[in-house]
Amino acid sequence: MLSRTILRRSIVSAPRSIVSRSRPLQQFRFVSFSQEEQPRVRIGSTAPNFQVETTQGPIDFHKYIGDNWTILFSHPADYTPVCTTELGAFSNLKPEFDKRGVKLIGLSTEGVDSHNGWIKDIVEVETNGKEFSFPIIADGKKEVAYKYDMVTEEDFKNLGGENKMIATIRSVYIIDPSKKVRLIMTYPASTGRNTQEVLRVIDALQTSDKKGVATPVDWTVGKEVIIPPTVSDEDAKAKFGDFRKVKPYLRYTKVD
């Protein structure tokens, strides 16, 4: 059984009700949280750097990334049911992420002690006793939530407020070894993510990078890929050998 009273309450669709219980003011706030100063994180942006405490000690995010692919993903709050299932599933998939050279790092806006207590529950109910496999950021100061815009419109307005417990939404940032943001997914708090989709898009990004191709709808490894329209038929023949031309702009081929 997950231990905290929060899980004994009936949780419906309002994430704020999950986190509005009173709690001590989190540490000193770090910035103004003004909309004007907030970084715009787009595909192709350098992932904003930050220094923060995690369940595996303090990190500098860019140093943590090193020269790996990295997935940064946020969770509304500790001891919440959907996040418990997600974190367990991502931890169990560590071998799949390792195979792809991908590091994981989670985030929730509570402290390391709270995260560590929650991890014990996750290990109990989701990983079958296996060690939890990646750090969770303690973003009590909301620095990362602000920099990456991991909050709803309403919570953004309250970010700088005193005694306000802010629930982050379910954001996923896929960052490449050059520290560029390559893919962003944003889910509301009530909707759990799909681990297979996260693995699939990593495969798609890495295949596109390695082979100079695009990937069609519902693509998975082994299926035909698309030759970009910028490649002429002659160059496509030289580069890929055979290809299937459905339209001048829609050409399929196979890659290993």
Phi, psi of 131, rounded to the nearest 5 degrees: -55, 140
Q: Which residues of 184-196 are buried (b: 16+ CB within 10 A; e: fewer)?
A: ebebebeeebeee
Report d(CA 253, CA 256) in Å as an integer. 10
- Among the listed residues 83, 87, 138, 226, the single catalytic one is 83
- Binding to ligand BEZ by CB under 6 A, coded x per residue (else -) over 11-30, reads x-x-x--x------------
The answer to whether the Cα torsion of 117, 96, 180, 168 is positive or negative is negative
If one asks whether residue 76 binds ligand BEZ (CB under 6 A), the answer comes out as yes
The residue among 80 and 127 lying less far from ligand BEZ, judged by its C-beta, is: 80
Report d(CA 148, CA 48) in Å as an integer. 8
The residue among 164 and 179 lying less far from ligand BEZ, judged by its C-beta, is: 164
- Say if CB 91 and CB 124 are below 8 A apart: no
Segment contacting ligand BEZ by CB under 6 A, of 25-33, 79-87, 119-127, 152-160: 79-87
If one asks whether residue 80 binds ligand BEZ (CB under 6 A), the answer comes out as yes
If one asks whether residue 83 binds ligand BEZ (CB under 6 A), the answer comes out as yes
Is residue 83 annotated as a catalytic residue, yes or no? yes
The site for ligand BEZ (CB under 6 A) is made up of: 11, 13, 15, 18, 76, 80-83, 189-190
